[in-house]
Amino acid sequence: MGTIWKGHVSFGLVNIPVRVENATRDTTPRFRMLHGRDNSPVKTVRVRQGDEERVEYRELVRGYEYEPGHYVILDDEDFRQVALQTTRTIDIMDFVDESEIDSRYFEKPYYLEVQRGGEKAYALLRKAMRETGKVAVAKVVFQRREHLAAVKVVNDVLVLDLMRFEDELRPLNTVETPGEEGLSEREIAMALQLVEQLSASFDPKSYKDEYAEKLLGRIQAKVEGREVAQVQETEPVETQVVDLVARLKESLERAEGERRAADG
């Protein structure tokens, strides 16, 4: 995948040289924008607001609008100076239980691959984290901004998981939610039973991106000139309060039938 960042994991007074590499890959089909008349490719052209004069990429600068219509310009040296003290360090601040971190904070994982000379320190940090069951909370300047991050042990790899800061999340109390006062004991019991019926060990291989697979299948059919089947759009029917128990019972029966079929 290629190295996208080099630096150190700072662990107390120990510095571990690492390379940051992508842990994810984009499997979404790529598309080009074409002119609908003759399918010729279309490219993006930057123009100046007001007179529509074309602007080349090399002429662009970064401006921060500090009040309407007024900008302060920042260049690469400004960003470099701000990041100078931290740009090559993943600075571990605390070790915490992973269960304490709300999943909403996690954003994107990267792999930390050890560089020459850091093997023993890398292994030591990994062993200490594995035996204590802790994850490290760190800060790192990455892609022109400071990130909160977690360093985790996954098998034998230290994984850097970029995180969101607290002020980047909408407070939960801004979301309208219903109360639980109207739930009956029977409804709760059946819902719990349904959860038990559908419970399983997490196996990521069991879950596929069906949308991407079907889209690629449709693309292949068009390439080969085959007729593409049409699917009628249907909207899920909202479950009404009056038939909630009936829906739960039907769901339990279906789950039980699928479980029996899977068991053979």
pLDDT band at 157 (very low <50, low <70, confident <90, very high): very high
Q: Which residues of 142-176 are buried (b: 16+ CB within 10 A; e: fewer)?
A: beeeebbbbbbbeeeebbbbbbeeeeeeeeeeeee
Query: What is the predicted pLDDT for the residue at 264?
Result: 66
| 153 phi/psi in degrees, rounded to 5 | -100, 120
How is domain 3-27+81-166 classified at the architecture level of CATH?
Beta Barrel (2.40)
Greater model confidence, 151 or 78? 151
Specify the range with the lowest mean pLDDT, choosing from 69-78, 122-131, 147-156, 246-255. 246-255
In the chain, where does the domain assigned CATH 2.40.290.10 lie?
Answer: 3-27+81-166
Strands annotated E in the chain:
3-11, 14-22, 62-67, 70-74, 89-97, 106-114, 134-142, 145-154, 157-163
Q: Which of 148, 157, 152, 154 is nearest to 113 (CA)?
A: 157
- pTM higher than the cut 0.85: no
Tell me how many degrees the CA angle 20-23-24 measures, rounded to the nearest 5: 135
**Which amino acid type is present at position 194?**
L
3-state DSSP assignment of residue 240 = coil
What does the pLDDT look like over 181-210, one tens digit per residue? 988 888 889 888 888 888 888 888 887 878
CA 159 to chain centre: 14
Greater model confidence, 249 or 164? 164
Residue 86, pLDDT > 80, answer no
